[in-house]
Amino acid sequence: MNAKLDSTVTARPVSRETFDQVLVPTYAPAAMVPVRGAGLDLWDQSGKHYLDFTSGIAVNSLGHCHPALVEVLTRQINSLWHLGNGYTNEPVLRLALALTEATFADRAFFCNSGAEANEAALKLARKYAHTKFGAHKSRIISCFSSFHGRTLFTVSVGGQAKYTEGFEPLPPSIDHIAYNDIEAARAAIGDDVCAVIVEPVQGEGGVVPGNPEFLKELRALCDKTGALLIFDEVQCGMGRTGALFAYMGYGVTPDILTAAKALGNGYPIGAMLTTDALAQTLAVGTHGTTYGGNPLAATVALSVLETINTPAFLARVKEASVNTIAMLQGLITDYPQVFSAVRGSGLLLGLVVSDAYKGRAKDIQKAAEAQGLMVLIAGMDVVRLAPALIVSDEQIAEAGRLLRVAIDGLLKA
Ligand SMILES: Cc1ncc(COP(=O)(O)O)c(C=O)c1O
């Protein structure tokens, strides 16, 4: 029988090699294939156990298969999956109420990813300025090393040239400044700027927290010029820094906030939050997406939000952050030839490699994985840790132990 017509593919064995045969090679995934997860525990096809300090890149903040999420999702799966935007649904209405009650925002737009949330934010800003001030006010200011997604617009706004190479021509009227450079911001943000987009904590760009003075100055410059301030909290939002959203910890309120990743804990959803006045820019027919505000995604997101947004939960994130930083400081003290500094915010932390290990963050990641610890990298010089926010002190200590075994092995090699 023609393999293409063989209907028994569900039962056919697959492996990491299958990826190289039938997937577009946009990624280079690890050699092991995870098959089951619970909390921060993960098991691969061979039954080997891993402690997951990646959370699927800051997504599974309540861990894998959180029982409360499994329960609400199962209930929703048995009642209603999808309608399309000709109809609204109860879960999305409740989610919008909860998000607007919890934040500065009055209105929410839902989509399926971080890139789409940023795309909506940038389109809103362009259209708002176009309508209110005229076509000349179209320039977007972003930061070098930032990451805002992979659509052509968001990847062009992102500050990493390697991601746009070969995709030209790019959308025009986008300029970049150095992150945390107040003078550069003053020089760049003039009357022709419609939006300034910034990650309060840069994630992909190396786990670099924004300076409060920088973010405050961006707010002031936007107020002065009529530009909209967009905070991309796709990675640093939803409790990751110890505040529900990072802007709350900084005391700087944006005009538009984007969230995704942890909002759905692995169920794809993105959100753009904004004020009542600005939301009117996107009138009926101006923007949309088939799946945005899907009842399944909205059900999960509401449960995530209600679990994370309690004083006790957020206080524990801060406590776990202190304990993780202490563990990482111990590594820097004991392995100065490998690690030089720890930086970040809450449970989004970067371990910067020393000069001798420059460019070798991936080697450290692989050595940790061999010991059963999953960590991320952020560029080639930073090992990034983003454990689920429910991480226990025992798991933090175990991650430290596994990292030490991994580094000892690397040093001997
Ligand atoms: C800050 C930030 N913005 C946007 C994105 C893009 O999100 P997505 O991959 O869901 O499109 C990411 C993804 O890593 C991110 O970290």
Distance between Cα 410 and ligand 1 center (Å): 31
Residue 163, CA atoms < 13 Å, CB-side half-sphere: 20
Q: State the closest ligand 1 atom to the C-alpha of 204, by its place in the atom list counted from 1.
A: 16
Does the beta carbon of 234 lie inside 6 Å of ligand 1?
Answer: yes
As given in the structure block, the two tokens for residue 368 are 């940790």
Whether the CB of 113 sits within 6 Å of ligand 1: yes
What is the distance in A from the centroid of ligand 1 to the CA of 150? 8
Q: Quick count: other Cβ atoms within 10 Å of Cβ 335?
A: 19
Among residues 252, 235, 240, the alpha carbon closest in space to that of 115 is found at 235
| pLDDT score of 11 | 86
pLDDT at 5: 60
Q: Rounded to the nearest whole angstrom, what is the distance from the C-alpha of residue 156 to the centroid of ligand 1?
A: 13
Q: Is the CB of 199 under 6 A from ligand 1?
A: yes
**Residue 396 and residue 86: Cα distance in Å, rounded?**
47
Atom of ligand 1 nearest to the CA of 146: 1
Instruction: Compute mean pLDDT per 10 residues along the chain, 413 residues long, and list them.
Output: 67 96 97 98 98 98 98 98 96 98 98 98 98 97 98 98 98 98 98 98 97 98 98 98 98 98 98 98 97 97 98 98 98 98 98 97 98 97 98 98 98 92
- Ligand 1: which of 261, 265, 289, 384 to mutate, judged by most atoms within 8 Å of the beta carbon? 261
| Cβ of residue 119 lying under 6 Å from some atom of ligand 1 | no
Given this model, what pLDDT does residue 202 score?
Answer: 98
pLDDT, position 10 = 86
Alpha carbons 180 and 177: distance in angstroms, whole number: 9
Any ligand 1 atom below 6 A from CB of 352: no
Measured in Å, residue 234 CA sits from the centre of ligand 1 at 6
Alpha helices in 103-211 (DSSP H): 114-132, 152-157, 182-188
How far, in Å, is the centroid of ligand 1 from the Cα of 54?
A: 15
Q: Is residue 148 in contact with ligand 1, taking CB distance under 6 Å?
A: yes
- Is the Cβ atom of 381 under 6 angstroms away from ligand 1? no
Distance (angstroms) between ligand 1 centre and the Cα of 265 equals 14
To the question of pTM greater than 0.95 for the whole model, the response is yes
246 within ligand 1 shell (Cβ under 6 A): no
C-alpha of residue 116 to centroid of ligand 1, in Å: 9
260 in contact with ligand 1, CB cutoff 6 A: yes
Please report the pLDDT score of residue 6 as a whole number. Answer: 62
DSSP assigned state of 162? G
How far does the centroid of ligand 1 lie from the alpha carbon of residue 379, in Å?
15
**Which of 119, 163, 234, 238 for mutating ligand 1's site (highest number of atoms within 8 Å of CB)?**
234
